[in-house]
A and B are shown apart, each in its own frame.
Chain A
Amino acid sequence: MAKNSNKTEENRNKFINDIKQGKVWGSYDIAFNTVNLLKDVIVNGDWQTAQELMVLITAEGRKLTRSLPMQASVGNMVRRVLKIIREEYVATQQNKQEDVDAQESLHKIVTSEGDVVDDYSKLLPDLRSSIMEHIGEFEMELETSADNIAQQARQHIHSNEIIMTLGKSASVEAFLKKAATERKFEVIVAECAPFCRGHELAVSLGKSKIETTVIADSAIFAIMSRVNKVIIGTHTVMANGGLRAVCGSHIVALAAKHYSVPVIVLAPMYKLSPQYLCSYDQDAFNSFVSPEGVLKYSDGAILSKVHVYNPVFDYVPPELVTLFISNTGGHAPSYVYRLLSELYHPDDHDL
């Protein structure tokens, strides 16, 4: 047993280091690897009942989220797995599939006949296999999510439209390429300085024969009047339907609002986080990286005289978002709370 737990710890540390060093990159890979780590805990961990397993997973999740506070998808995956365990426990125990709605509701308050608190402590022999099976299905969902989003491209991109996007998002790239197989349209890519990942996207789209124009971030507003639609990706969808997205997204969203251009955000379900933005100084909301891209170290003398910041994220309030497209379809920002209550158990919001 001790050997197993050592191995789990080793895996976890490797995963954390890989993310910190940028070896594992992109929220899909992060989500996928998190699920694998948790699977390891379920298979090799020392547990008898669902309750013990949930304690193990929560502890593992806490270690991960403490070390990687910026990667919301890690926490999201931990919550999803916990929810799966809860569902499977109830299903195996009652030997039937039943929808367990754990969300507090006024209806429950007024009609309840006293609380029946289930502490998940019953011994269930088939639990391990049924949880693993369910997680298998969930992994399938993860794998196909990008594709599912891309499948909806046809409904949103029409012929001869001008689409604006910003930086590089894997979902947006797949979405645009899928649409290009059937329709002809034009894409304007804001480069998203200082990382300029927009250049990479432009090259990739160009190779797929999509008419692409790269613009500087400062030209976003000037160009917006000609744009029909803004399609962007995001890092996290917050609980109120706001976005934590790459820096510059707020500018795009505000310019779009000014010209009444619809803003479509591609967000697979694993990006939905039960987090709220309480204040802009909030811990773990933004991260500041090396300012090298803003002001080169070779600029010498001036460096000691000025402050240089290079934040990674922007908060985009929900009223600037028109539509979310997830692997399960399109949703308005005001509907995000509902999706959250379906995805996660309320007790798991704080790990």
Chain B
Amino acid sequence: MDDAETKGRIEETVRRVLQESDMDEVTESKIRKQASEQLGLDLSQPHFKAFVKQVVKAFLQEEEQRQQQQQQDEDDDDEEEEQGGVSKGKEYDDEGDLIICRLSDKRRVTIQDFRGKTLVSIREYYKKDGKELPTSKGISLTEEQWSTFKKNVPAIEKAIKKMESS
């Protein structure tokens, strides 16, 4: 009975010391010394030493499982965010239009929703009062016009090469 009672006190003390310790710095030897001081026992004796080692090992395993469970919970949260929220990486200008790409410092391509119609706007912007505002230098294409334009991209490339060689 003394052994069982002593082991109970050792386990309780070791666990408390572990919880209060910085897991990145602590060693089993330090744990044993601290527990020895608190219990008034010499835990470096072989059978005590083995028992302390056992308690530490069990504690670490439980800690690892706790962290894995926590990680899994966080992953679940991430999944929820991805499903419900808007995907990150999309950029919008100061007027709320989606920016597809920037052709230069001042020029960009945006997607506009104008009176219920989708427009592809290729336009120059200027800065004023910390905002980037559209100028009249540019053109907004309807879906139909954009579709025709897209089909003619190869023809445009061809014309460029012809112009370059002339």
**Do A and B come together as binding partners?**
no
Interface set of B (CB-CB < 8 Å, partner A): none
Q: Which residues of A contact B (CB under 8 A)?
A: none
